[in-house]
């Protein structure tokens, strides 16, 4: 391979062609390591601290390799950023002829067939959804890609999208009247023809586990997989290597059956009757779990006669619908698809109810208007290794947060990567001068009833000193709500609270206001990049240990304990250390950033395991003296 090091040199190719590019030896070393693995084969696990520029460090060797490369990112937002911003910049600077493509899961593409059906069917849409449908119809004429991210007037989580996008279950495939102009098929065709394809972990895992996202020709042809934000992979893969049935999925089945009945089977009214019964049984099932939004163990379902009775009713309604659909076999592809979906859902539900193997966890979760019944494997290492062996390529796993106390053991064990080469490059930022790490004195223990109030009271003088400009990150929604209630009357700066608007909108408001205070939980701990003075303080309430009441975590803890392991040291502590690194990583995003990280958990200094957290964080100036924090904020920026 061409000498990658020269491209990253202080007077190299990138420095000459990209405005603002600065030489970082860590980035140069990482690029060389990635290039070597791509050349020789193998597995690389590497952590690159914030500011290393890991995206360029893997894009340059990927574009120069002459190989078919698949790059997978943690979220669709990062995927869009990589494909529309970083990749064109590097490709242009290298004058690279490599053909590139962006590919997302099918729910991200407008389905022309379902749009036409929705426009012509009498559906129970809200006034807002009717208006959104007209906007989507106008956009459908102009869009080339059909990627719903391009339809900015309708948010990506709007309830209208399932009516105008497809799932693997309701897609009619080659028998669809709009197949020749299908946006999804076009995206897949471009991906198969490209040398470098940008996807996301959900899409990658869906295809690895279910073989249903249309990668039949794409994955086996890849010479190299680069997985960015790899710390998210074990959890995402775990969800896909199991089974699930959701209320939303059942309501879509009933709705699609009603639409097909009106089109193809009006002489069989029992189809309509059974579809409507399925809708009612699905809603009853959601109510049977109670109004609270939560996750619970399957033992709760098994022990609750009322929930079991509703589950019987749900199974019965799907079975009856399946039987009535069999009476019109051969009438049309749409009815046939609904019939197949009934069979699949019945099989999954029976499996979930009866399958009690020791290698998986059965659990449920409830959302505001829906529910999901799940079976998740306890461990995915063997499954993931099987997938990697099916695709004998180079595999590169990277993130700013993979190591715990300098060790990759936790991450590599989760995915079975025992033979991997590992590297850890520290951030090039000058943390001792750019950041202060403040651990307050005399706070109550986190399990104390006074703890949340104490953190809120402590926050006020800190926010006064910082002039607002802060993220307050909480480990629970309850703590966030209590803090919001306490601070709303006392805070002299604009306050933004998770849940009051979409995440991207809140972050944009935060940037524009310049002195705001944003309160968030888990989704705000990572994937947010606010540079400059607008974010100068991050306050974290507790060490982010996952809730011990979570059924999946509890099952993993029990399994580890049965094998004689130490669940706290082997699983809970490493997971929390990685989460803390993510939260703390919001503070310093640029070489000119300055800020204070406040950790309100006294266990950091009082418990022996606190040292593991401390070793996992960047080398900021540490203090327990509030006057040090005040002095830091009083210094002029820069």
Say if residues 33 and 46 touch (Cβ distance below 8 Å). yes
Cα angle for residues 133, 137, 143 (degrees, 5° grid): 130
Residues 549, 445 share a domain: yes
Closest CA to 346 of 374, 318, 324: 318
Last residue of a domain, one of 357, 377, 397: 377
Q: 123: part of which helix (H) or strand (E)?
A: none
Residues 116, 90 share a domain: no
Say if residues 363 and 544 touch (Cβ distance below 8 Å). no
Closest CA to 486 of 448, 451, 446: 451
Q: In the numeric block, which tokens belong to residue 437?
A: 């790490």
Helix/strand/coil for 225 = strand
Position 300 in a domain: yes
Position 58 in a domain: yes
Residues 439, 347 share a domain: no
Say if residues 254 and 275 touch (Cβ distance below 8 Å). yes
User: Edge-to-edge strand order for the sheet containing 371-377?
Assistant: 243-246, 371-377, 360-366, 295-297
Rounded CA gap, 500 and 469, in Å?
Answer: 19
Rounded CA gap, 530 and 291, in Å?
Answer: 36
Helix/strand/coil for 46 = strand
For the chain, how big is the Rg over CA atoms in Å? Answer: 26
Residues 563, 516 share a domain: yes
Q: What residues make up the domain containing 275?
A: 243-377
Position 189 in a domain: no
Closest CA to 528 of 151, 75, 152, 20: 75
Rounded CA gap, 111 and 171, in Å?
Answer: 9
Residues 177, 52 share a domain: no
Average pLDDT of adjacent 10-residue blocks, the chain of 638 residues? 83 90 94 96 95 95 95 90 94 94 92 89 81 94 92 85 87 86 92 94 82 57 94 91 91 90 86 95 94 89 90 95 91 87 93 81 91 92 90 94 92 94 95 95 94 96 96 95 94 93 88 96 89 95 90 89 91 94 93 95 95 94 94 80
Here the CATH number for the domain that contains residue 581 is: 3.40.50.300
Please identify which residue in the block is written with the tokens 């004058």: 95
Residues 441, 342 share a domain: no
Quote helix, strand, coil % in the chain, to nearest 5.
Answer: 50, 15, 35
Residues 597, 495 share a domain: yes
pLDDT for the residue 502: 80
Q: In the numeric block, which tokens belong to residue 446?
A: 């986190």
Closest CA to 379 of 577, 242, 573, 229: 242
Say if residues 609 and 573 touch (Cβ distance below 8 Å). yes
The β-bridge partners of 227 are 72, 397
Residues 83, 217 share a domain: yes
Position 435 in a domain: yes
Rounded CA gap, 331 and 344, in Å?
Answer: 20
Per-residue burial over 522-537, b if 16 or more Cβ lie within 10 Å, else e, is bebbbbbebeebbbbb
Residues 248, 235 share a domain: no
* Distance set, CA 358 to CA 108, 376, 559 (Å): 36, 11, 9
Which residues does 575 contact at the CB level (< 8 Å), separation at least 6? 410, 545, 546
The β-bridge partners of 540 are 473, 599
Rounded CA gap, 52 and 30, in Å?
Answer: 9
Residues in the chain: 638
Count of domains for the chain: 4
Helices of type H across 82-217: 87-93, 112-120, 127-142, 161-164, 183-193, 201-210
Cα dihedral 607→612→615→617 (10° resolution): -90
pLDDT for the residue 270: 93
Q: 621: part of which helix (H) or strand (E)?
A: strand 621-623
Residues 509, 369 share a domain: no
Residues 148, 121 share a domain: yes
Task: State the sign of the Cα–Cα–Cα–Cα dihedral 378, 198, 521, 150.
Answer: negative
pLDDT for the residue 217: 59
Position 190 in a domain: no
Residues 31, 145 share a domain: no
Rounded CA gap, 15 and 147, in Å?
Answer: 34
pLDDT for the residue 331: 83
Q: In the numeric block, which tokens belong to residue 31?
A: 């690029």
Last residue of a domain, one of 136, 156, 184: 184
DSSP 524: G
Phi, psi of 573 (to 5 degrees): -65, -50
Rounded CA gap, 432 and 227, in Å?
Answer: 31
Task: State the sign of the Cα–Cα–Cα–Cα dihedral 596, 598, 603, 605.
Answer: positive
Phi, psi of 408 (to 5 degrees): -100, 10
Here the CATH number for the domain that contains residue 350 is: 1.20.1440
User: pTM for this structure?
Assistant: 0.90
Position 213 in a domain: yes
Q: At what angle do helices 233-240 and 201-210 cross, to 10 degrees?
A: 40
Last residue of a domain, one of 392, 410, 425: 425
Position 370 in a domain: yes
Position 258 in a domain: yes
């Amino acid at each position: 391979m061409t000498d990658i090091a020269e491209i990253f040199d202080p007077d190299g190719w990138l420095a000459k062609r990209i405005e603002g590019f600065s030489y970082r030896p860590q980035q140069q070393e990482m690029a060389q390591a990635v290039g070597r693995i791509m050349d020789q084969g193998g597995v690389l696990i590497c952590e690159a601290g914030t500011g290393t520029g890991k995206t360029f460090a893997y894009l340059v060797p990927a574009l120069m390799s002459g190989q078919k490369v698949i790059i997978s990112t943690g979220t669709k937002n990062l995927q869009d950023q990589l494909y529309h911003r970083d990749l064109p910049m590097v490709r242009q600077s290298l004058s690279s002829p490599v053909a590139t493509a962006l590919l997302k899961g099918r729910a991200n593409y407008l389905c022309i067939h379902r749009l036409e059906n929705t426009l012509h069917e009498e559906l129970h849409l809200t006034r807002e959804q009717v208006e959104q449908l007209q906007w989507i119809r106008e956009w459908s004429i102009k869009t080339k890609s059909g990627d719903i991210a391009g339809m900015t007037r309708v948010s990506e989580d709007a309830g209208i999208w399932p009516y105008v996008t497809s799932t693997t279950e309701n897609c009619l495939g080659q028998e669809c009247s709009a197949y020749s102009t299908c946006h999804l098929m076009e995206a897949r065709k471009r991906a198969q023809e490209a040398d470098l394809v940008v996807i996301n972990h959900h899409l990658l895992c869906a295809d690895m586990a279910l073989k249903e996202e249309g990668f039949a020709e794409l994955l086996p042809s890849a010479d190299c997989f680069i997985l960015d934000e790899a710390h998210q992979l074990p959890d995402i893969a775990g969800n896909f290597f199991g089974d699930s049935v959701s209320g939303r999925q059942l309501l879509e089945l009933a709705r699609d059956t009603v639409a097909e009945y009106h089109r193809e089977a009006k002489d069989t009214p029992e189809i309509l009757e059974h579809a409507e019964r399925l809708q009612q049984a699905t809603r009853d099932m959601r109510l049977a779990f109670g109004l609270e939004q939560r996750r619970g163990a399957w033992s709760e379902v098994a022990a609750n006669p009322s929930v079991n009775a509703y589950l019987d009713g749900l199974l019965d309604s799907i079975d009856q619908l399946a039987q009535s659909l069999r009476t019109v076999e051969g009438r049309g592809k749409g009815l046939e698809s609904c019939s197949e979906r009934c069979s699949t859902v019945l099989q999954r539900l029976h499996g979930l109810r009866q399958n009690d193997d020791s290698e998986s966890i059965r659990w449920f979760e409830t959302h505001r208007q829906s529910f999901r019944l799940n079976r998740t494997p306890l461990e995915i290492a063997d499954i993931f290794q099987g997938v990697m062996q099916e695709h004998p390529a180079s595999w590169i796993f990277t993130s700013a947060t993979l190591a715990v106390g300098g060790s990759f053991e936790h991450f590599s064990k989760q995915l079975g990567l025992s033979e991997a080469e590992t590297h850890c490059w520290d951030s090039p930022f000058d943390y001792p001068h750019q950041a202060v790490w403040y651990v307050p004195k005399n706070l109550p223990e986190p399990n104390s009833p006074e703890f949340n109030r104490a953190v809120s009271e402590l926050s006020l003088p800190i926010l006064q000193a910082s002039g607002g400009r802060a993220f307050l990150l909480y480990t629970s929604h309850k703590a966030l709500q209590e803090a919001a209630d306490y601070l709303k009357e006392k805070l002299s700066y604009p306050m933004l609270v998770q849940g009051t608007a979409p995440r991207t909108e809140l972050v944009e408001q935060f940037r524009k206001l310049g002195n705001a205070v944003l309160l968030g939980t888990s989704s705000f701990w990572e994937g947010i990049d606010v540079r400059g003075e607008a974010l100068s303080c991050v306050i974290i309430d507790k060490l982010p240990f996952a809730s011990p009441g979570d059924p999946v975590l509890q099952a993993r803890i029990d399994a580890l304990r049965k094998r004689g392991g130490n669940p706290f040291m082997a699983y809970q502590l490493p997971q929390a250390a990685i989460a803390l690194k993510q939260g703390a990583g919001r503070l310093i995003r640029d070489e000119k950033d300055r800020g204070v990280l406040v950790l309100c958990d006294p266990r950091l200094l009082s418990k022996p395991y606190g040292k593991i957290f401390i070793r996992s964080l960047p080398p900021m100036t540490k203090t327990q003296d509030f006057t040090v924090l005040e002095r830091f904020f009083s210094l002029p920026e820069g």
